[in-house]
Amino acid sequence: MENLLRKGTSLTNKWNQLKKMISSGDVKPWDLLNPSTEYATEEEAKSRFSICEGCPKFSKMTKRCLECGCFMELKTKLKQASCPMSKW
C-alpha cells in the first residue's frame, strides 16, 4: 500500500487534484447535472477551449487539463469556470 501512495505516483497525483478541485471555489463536475447551472455562450466556450489547446498543460489525447484534471470540452462551457493557470 505504501508504494501506491508514494509521492509522485499517479494515484497520489489524482488524489491531490481531487482535493484541490473540491477545496477551490471553482466549478465541480457535478455542476453539469445541476439544472440551475449557468452556461457560457458558445462563442466564449470555443474561445476558452482554443486557449486550452495551445497550453502545454493540455493533453490532446484525452482533452484534459493536466493541472486541474478536468475534461476541458465540458469545463469551458460552464460560465463560472476558470482556468487553473489563469489563462481565461
Domain extent listing, the chain: 37-88
Is the CB of residue 68 less than 8 Å from the CB of residue 28?
no
Digits of tens for pLDDT over the chain (88 positions)? 445 445 555 767 766 666 665 555 578 878 888 899 999 999 999 999 999 999 999 999 999 999 988 999 999 999 999 999 999 9
Instruction: Round to whole Å and give the CA distance between 39 and 42.
Output: 9
Is the CB of residue 87 less than 8 Å from the CB of residue 55?
yes
pTM: 0.71
Q: Is the dihedral angle over the CA atoms 31, 9, 52, 71 positive or is it negative?
A: negative
